[in-house]
Amino acid sequence: MPMTAVTRVTHSCHLIEIGGRTFLTDPWFSTRPGYYQGEPIAVGIPDLPRLDGVLISHDHYDHCDLAAFATYRDRSVPLFVAETVVDPARRHGFHNVTALKPWEEAGAGGVTITATPAKHGVYEVTFVLRSGPEAVYFAGDTMLIPELGEIPQRLGHISLALLPTNGLHIRPANNMQVVMNAQEAAELTAILKPELAIPHHYAFTKGFLGDRLITSSDKNPLRYRDASRDLAPETSVRVVEPGIRVEL
C-alpha cells in the first residue's frame, strides 16, 4: 500500500500523500499587510508536485489564496471546497470545482474526500481523506464543536489529524474566539484518537500593531503537545517545521 505522509508548507497549507495521490490544503503563498505566515513558505507554487486535488475549507485569504494559486500550472486540478469558495475559484480560472457540505463526499483517484463540520468566523468545512484503512483529518481553523465528535462514528478510524491550536480571538469583535485553542485541540485529539497529530495555524501574525490591536493568539504549539500528553496519551504529537515530510 502506498505510504501516507504529510509535508507542512506553511500555516494550514499542507501536502498530503494518501492512497498514492497528493492533495494540497488551504493554499496560502503570498502576503499582504496584516497577513503574515510568521514562518517560511517551504514550497513555492512552481515547485508543487502534480496535485490530484486541492481542499479549501473557507474563503479567508490565509486559507484561500486563489490569486497566487492561479499561477499553478494546471487550473483543471480538482478543487473540493466550502460552497462559498466556488464562485471565487471559478473567477480565478479553476473550472473543476466541487462544493461539499458536511458529510457529503466525493472521490479523487480512489481517495474518498468527506466534508465534515466546522465553526469559524465565516462558513467553513473541514475534511477527511480516506484510502483503505488510512484516513487524514484536516481541521482548517475550526472551533471545537460537538459535531466533530461524530467523525469517528460516521467515518471510522483517523490515522493523522492536522489541527489548529492558536485560539485566535478578534479584539474589536468583543474578543470573540474563532479558532480552537491548544486545550480544545487536545480534547478533539482525545475524541479522534489518531496515531499522529500535527498542529498548524499557530505562527500566523498580523504584525506588531495588528497582534496588539486586532487579534490575540497563542503562538506556542508546545502547549498543544503538553495538553495532549494528558488528554490523549496514545496519540503521538509532532510539531513540524515547514518543509518537513512526515510519514505514518
The domains of the chain are located at: 5-247
Residues paired with 105 in a beta bridge: 114
Task: Collapse the DSSP code of 14 into the 3-class scheme (helix H, G, I; strand E, B; otherwise coil) and give the result.
Answer: strand
Which residues, 6 or more positions from 228, have their beta carbon under 8 angstroms from its beta carbon?
185, 186, 189, 190, 197, 235, 237
Alpha helices, H only, 55-179: 66-69, 86-91, 151-155
**Top-tier CATH class for 5-247:** alpha beta
- 22 and 52 in contact (C-beta within 8 Å)? yes
Using alpha carbons, select from 69, 89, 185, 178 the residue that is nearest to residue 137: 185
Query: CA–CA distance from 181 to each of 93, 169, 199, 248 (Å)?
Result: 35, 10, 11, 25
Full-model pTM: 0.97
Alpha helices, H only, 102-235: 151-155, 182-192, 207-213, 222-231
Which residues, 6 or more positions from 90, have their beta carbon under 8 angstroms from its beta carbon?
97
* Distance from C-alpha of 187 to C-alpha of 184, rounded to nearest angstrom: 5
Q: Give, to the nearest 10 degrees, the angle between helix 182-192 and helix 222-231.
A: 40
**pLDDT tens across the length of the chain (248 residues):** 688 999 999 999 999 999 999 999 999 999 999 999 999 999 999 999 999 999 999 999 999 999 999 999 999 999 999 999 999 999 999 999 999 999 999 999 999 999 999 999 999 999 999 999 999 999 999 999 999 999 999 999 999 999 999 999 999 999 999 999 999 999 999 999 999 999 999 999 999 999 999 999 999 999 999 999 999 999 999 999 999 999 99
Residues paired with 97 in a beta bridge: 79
